[in-house]
Amino acid sequence: MRIRIRDLDRPLAAMPVSAAEPSAPECHAVAGLIDMVGGSMLFGEQMLLAEEQERCYRAISDLRRLIGETAELLPADAAGAADLVAMRAACRKYMDLADVWDKKSGRRFSMPSYRFYQMLGAFREVMGLHLWRLGDLHDLDVDGRLVAFFPGSRE
């Protein structure tokens, strides 16, 4: 089920309605990114297990690359360029924090489950905020299950 982002309640009062009108190629590039993020195992309907840390790490690494490739398609002054930069930074932060845990323990992908879920939840929250902003800027429809990760979601 597809949901138009502008039909949803604004999650934060401080987030103004955008006056910018992005070009059609920008909208298509961002729509493709949002669809691929929505299809990622990180935002799926099944719960990730702490034992799947390696898959999660690789999915975030792939997501970071995908965001970078999308940013390269857009002009530097494109609507939402700052959100793409912030999304890549969130991916990098997750990977850096995971590496710190690995170095502490001396093993790869050995984060305690409580920490894994805290980091994954924080990552999803940041990504949800930026995905919502990108969708709002470009007046896009998104997959309904992605809406659960938007700020202020009732789900």
Query: Does position 120 have pLDDT exceeding 60, yes or no?
Result: yes
pLDDT in tens, 24-33: 889 999 999 9
Structural contact between residues 124 and 149, judged by C-beta atoms closer than 8 angstroms: yes
DSSP, res 144: G
Predicted TM-score (pTM) of this structure:
0.84
Distance CA 43, CA 41 (A): 5
**65-112 pLDDT, tens per residue?**
999 999 999 988 888 899 999 999 999 999 999 999 888 888 888 888
CA 70/CA 72 separation, integer angstroms: 5
Answer whether residue 59 shows pLDDT above 50.
Answer: yes
